[in-house]
Structure 1
Amino acid sequence: MLTATSPTPGNFADIAARIGRIDWATVESGLDGQGNATVVALLRQSECRELATLYDESGFYRSRVVMGRHGFGRGEYRYYDYPLPKLIDDLRRTAYARLAPIANRWNQRLGVAVRYPDTLAEFTHRCHEAGQRRPTPLILRYGEGDYNCLHQDLYGEQVFPLQLAVLLSEPGRDFTGGEFVMTEQRPRMQSRCEVVPLGQGDAVIFAVNNRPVQGSRGAYQVRLRHGVSRLRSGRRHALGLIFHDAT
């Protein structure tokens, strides 16, 4: 299992150090093989609790979405507004810099001409030029019986192919059920389903839409979706970091 622990919350150098200590070769191998990779203890328990506690504070967010009103499932989430809280901004920027080379390699394998810049600031500028100006980092809250339907987080023509989610609640204590799940659809095959176990503070990095798979005639695309299974009891919070902005 991968670890990324730290003594000091919310500091840019500290977040950069945590990201730097991740075994990125193992992450890349997981993404190539399954479309997801887990990082253990990316956020500290105190950071997870603070983010979850601030869910009901209105000053951090641009909008609130009740899933049942849109057929997304049951539960709700809130999109953060710019400027993002420092911890989230630091994590998003430093993670992007590590993921951009993987994203570029995937596109190269698939024959896709798009290449992603080295920094999130440059990519955000690209999004804004395309009319995608609304921030997409979000915090999700589920109660008993809630779930998130399988979906993809696509918000416009500019799409970064990888994203990151952190479980903020403690399984078995704060909630039961509510597993992070993914499905993969290969051409002319039935869907493959995978449950990704997470502990409090653990992150899962995963494909937003498609990933390359090597076939006998070269690489081809498989399509992925993600969601959350039904919560059996308690309350579950999670942080989602999407790197492209929304229209």
Structure 2
Amino acid sequence: MNDVAEVSIADRVKAIDWPRVEDDLDQFGCAVIERLLAPSECDALIDQYPRDALYRSRVVMERHGFGRGEYKYFGYPLPDLIEGLRTAVYPHLAPVANRWNDIMKIDARYPARHADFIERCHRAGQTRPTPLILQYHAGDYNCLHQDLYGEHVFPIQLAILLSEPGRDFTGGEFVMTEQRPHMQSRAEVVPLKQGDAVVFAVHHRPMQGTRGAYRVNLRHGVSRLRSGHRHTLGVIFHDAQ
């Protein structure tokens, strides 16, 4: 079996069991894709974190009440690996996003190609790239939130764990909550290994009830790191204002 890094991003994405991913998104609002990145690719992204020239901005989360830790947004041009992920993954998610919006009676529809969607964002003044790397140390955490950056928001995103649980850190689980109308919130803890990705709903998704479909509201975050350090790559498909 070839090393993951020897297979192109496009071929890796093509080989994913997308019907299973779509089914998990429909049922749980998230889906895990195992070994999307190789350990060498994860380590290279972590090693690049101190290279400020790659990034357009740095956010210290505690200053804004977002939690503890920090993250950096990549600038354009994006690294080839990240641009490749955006380009290859988006066409598999756009039909899910369109179907969800149709069920929830939301007018927005998404083109088949990511480049066409980015062009729409840029025409609306959303020109800043949104892929980012998050860095946590012991005691850090990410409050539950939604990544909404402007009028044009793609409703599904991707996060890839770059560090190895148990070796690099303990704690720091990816967490989602789902708020159904007139009900208590449901929590989903998503276990990941180095190189694993989680695809998840950014804001809301449809759910079928006895009286038809309704919207549930979702938020995501990271629980407190018990020890070590944790890095995550976030791939958001819309650009920001």
TM over 0.5: yes
Aligned to 2:53: 59
Structure 1: gaps (5+ residues): none
Root-mean-square deviation (CA), in Å?
1.2
Aligned to 2:145: 151
147, 152, 162: which one aligns with 1:168? 162
In the alignment, the residues of structure 1 paired with residue 17 and residue 129 of structure 2 have an alpha-carbon distance, to the nearest angstrom, of 28
Say if 2:135 and 2:231, in contact at 8 Å, map to a contact too: yes
In the alignment, the residues of structure 2 paired with residue 100 and residue 22 of structure 1 have an alpha-carbon distance, to the nearest angstrom, of 16
Runs of 4+ residues deviating >3 angstroms: 5-11
Say if 1:141 and 1:235, in contact at 8 Å, map to a contact too: yes
| Distance 1:89-1:168 versus aligned 2 partners, 3 A rule | same
3, 27, 47: which one aligns with 1:7? 3
The normalised TM-score by structure 2 is: 0.98
70, 74, 82: which one aligns with 1:80? 74
Alignment of 1:43-54 (within 5 A): 43-54=37-48
Tell me which amino acid in the other structure corresponds to 1:140.
L
Tell me which amino acid in the other structure corresponds to 1:191.
S
In the alignment, the residues of structure 2 paired with residue 161 and residue 22 of structure 1 have an alpha-carbon distance, to the nearest angstrom, of 20
1:215-237 residue CA offsets vs partner (Å, 9 max, x unmatched): 12221100000000000000000
- Percent identity reads 66
24, 30, 34: which one aligns with 1:40? 34
1:188-234 residue CA offsets vs partner (Å, 9 max, x unmatched): 00100110000000000000000000112221100000000000000
Aligned to 1:229: 223
Q: How many residue pairs get matched?
A: 241
Tell me which amino acid in the other structure corresponds to 2:192.
L
Say if 1:143 and 1:231, in contact at 8 Å, map to a contact too: yes
Find out whether 1:242 has 2:236 as its counterpart: yes
Alignment of 1:187-206 (within 5 A): 187-206=181-200
Structure 2: gaps (5+ residues): none
1:8-58 residue CA offsets vs partner (Å, 9 max, x unmatched): 6487xx111100111001100100000000000000000000001100011
Cα deviation for residue 7 of structure 1 reads 3.5
Cα deviation for residue 113 of structure 1 reads 1.8
In the alignment, the residues of structure 1 paired with residue 103 and residue 41 of structure 2 have an alpha-carbon distance, to the nearest angstrom, of 38
Aligned to 1:120: 114
In the alignment, the residues of structure 2 paired with residue 84 and residue 7 of structure 1 have an alpha-carbon distance, to the nearest angstrom, of 24
